[in-house]
Homo-oligomer: A and B are copies of this chain.
Amino acid sequence: MTKVSPLAPAAFPSLPVVGGVRFATAKAGVKYKDRTDVMLAELAEGSVIAGTFTRSSTRSANVLDCEAKNGRPATGRAAILVNSGNSNAFTGRAGVEAVETLAAAVQTVTGIDRHRVFTSSTGVIGEPLPHDRIAAKLGELAQKLSVTGAEEAARAIMTTDTFPKGASTTIIVDGHPVTIMGIAKGSGMIAPDMGTMLVYLFTDARIAHGPLQATLRELTDRTFNAITVDSDTSTSDTLLMAATGASGVDVTRSAAFTKALHGVMLDLAKQVVRDGEGATKFVEVNVTGAADDADARKVAMSIANSPLVKTAIAGEDANWGRIVMAVGKSGARADRDRLSIRFGEIEVARDGWRAPDYSEEDASAYMKRQELEIGVDLGLGSGRSTVWTCDLTHGYIDINADYRS
């Protein structure tokens, strides 16, 4: 049994019911034994579904199918069906058939139009998906649908995750409450430039597909696309959001809604990092003073993905020279002699040289914390970027040198 990440939240949050959303889970035995590995979410009539997806050129049949269905008219109910244990990626025509078979089976059992059935699969790549085992559980799933099943759903979609991930918030828009709730999975093969992992967001707000999709795209860049565990990008990353409209509150132009949604997405994204394979440290990288935001992001990601930076953090070594290295290799415009680096409030380097009052003792003490901030100022312009990552430890090797067996 894998130990729960030391960075895990104390407890799974109490998730609110979202009007128009019901969940069910089952043990289909896709790969794992004696644990839930399938979840079905049913979404009320008229629910608007939007999503962001991995940009991998080898993305899975499920992702391609979700992309094709994204933006179709929001008539009738909808469903999201997810299995863990097998990603149905790189499974050729058999993978496409598995997705179509499952969507049709959901329609048969629940009456939901198969063009409104979104599926995700997560787990090993390249093995045929035993979709019959999942289809055999659809009757049970349809019967068990419950408005309080979100936590169980979060558990059913886990693979190497050591804890389920959920977040929610309720805000008041035009005097009425609107709820946003989400679940996510992800622990390894986590890197930017994608929709990311499996993330499902639900709200009872009313909003059309166009503005919802635009909001998701923008917020994904500042949340799920701003985290990295190991620089490896999944073939299956999917974020789907369902707006059921059950609250009757239109949020199309609500800045409060966008802010609240950003909060839930960032919470989930950080939970994914906190469950990074083998992670013992949670690290925020803040880059300022870049020529532009794109350069700042290059530097931040170069630091966050550097094996040498990440192993130094694991070893609690204030090895800021490796941060200099990561800035240098990033490809961003940088002037060594304007570069400043800090660990939290501790200035370690200024203007291309060790800070005059740098104390190795203070820096070493800081590195013993579980949550760290690395700050880099390039001294060139006003470009900035924040990304989140974790350290690289023996635990990562343990997990990934023996994942399939």
Asked whether any CB of chain B lies closer than 8 Å to the CB of A89, the reply is yes
**A400 and B307 form a contact (CB under 8 A):** yes
Nearest CB in chain B: distance from A118 CB, A: 20
Residues of B near A57 (CB, < 8 A) are 327-328, 330, 332-336
Which residue of chain B is the closest to A313 with respect to CB atoms? Answer: B401
Q: A91-B353, A339-B58 are in contact. Are A400 and B312 (CB under 8 A)?
A: yes
Bound state CA distance, A351 and B93, in angstroms? 10
Q: Judge if A320 is at the interface, Cβ distance under 8 Å.
A: yes
Number of copies: 2
| Most chain B beta-carbon contacts within 10 A, residue among A90, A92, A320 | A90
Cβ contact of A325, chosen from B189, B312, B321, B349, cutoff 8 A: B189
**A233–B328 contact, CB under 8 A?**
yes
Specify the chain B residue showing the minimal Cβ separation from A194.
Answer: B329
A397: Cβ under 8 A from any B Cβ: yes
22 A–B contacts from the bound complex (CB under 8 Å):
A56-B329, A57-B327, A57-B330, A58-B334, A90-B321, A124-B321, A125-B322, A125-B324, A126-B321, A126-B349, A188-B308, A189-B325, A193-B329, A231-B307, A232-B306, A232-B325, A233-B325, A235-B324, A307-B400, A308-B400, A314-B397, A315-B405
Residues of chain A whose beta carbon lies under 8 Å from any beta carbon of chain B: 54, 56-59, 87, 89-94, 124-128, 188-189, 191, 193, 230-235, 305-308, 311-312, 314-315, 317, 319-322, 324-330, 332-337, 339, 349, 351-354, 392-394, 396-397, 400-405
